[in-house]
Amino acid sequence: MENSKEIRWKQRYLELQKSQAQLEKALEIASPDEIYRAGIIQFFEMTLELAWKTLKDYLESQELIVHTPRETIQIAFNYNIIRNGHVWIDALQKRNLMAHTYDESRAKEAEDLIRNKYFQELSTLVNYLKEKL
């Protein structure tokens, strides 16, 4: 029988998988206008939040103790769950940039980071966790 921590990460994983799929669909828009760009950024923020929380739940199901997003990323990197810890830390730090979608240059920068740097890391985590189900 599964324990509650095992059940929790699997439940949260399903939400992460849905969120990542929505982000992927949004990224199919090659040249988004400012409204679509804001949507991409919002989907990314939601997916990043679910990703670190799912990762935290997964680590806790493995009897590891974590508290913060940064600590979660560091431990996941140490256990080879994620390979590019610096990219994850960068994504966490850039969340503040993402809040400024009204500033077109910052929004474009955020979109570029999501497309070319962060989305791949999120997808890799989703695939890793899928194998653990």
Taken in order 37, 39, 41, 47, the sign of the CA dihedral is negative
With a cut of 70, list the residues of the chain below it in pLDDT.
1, 97, 100-101
What's the confidence (pLDDT) of residue 50? Answer: 98
Cα 91 to Cα 42: distance, rounded to the nearest angstrom: 13
Q: Would you give the end-to-end CA distance of the chain in angstroms?
A: 14
CA atoms of 17 and 68, how far apart (whole Å): 22
Q: What is the pLDDT of residue 132?
A: 96
Q: What is the CA radius of gyration of the chain?
A: 15
Structurally, what CATH architecture does the domain formed by 4-132 represent?
Up-down Bundle (1.20)
Task: Report the distance separating Cα 66 and Cα 68, nearest Å.
Answer: 6
**Is 0.85 topped by the overall pTM?**
yes
Domain parsing of the chain, residue ranges: 4-132
Q: Which of 130, 48, 55, 36 shows the shortest CA–CA distance to 95?
A: 48
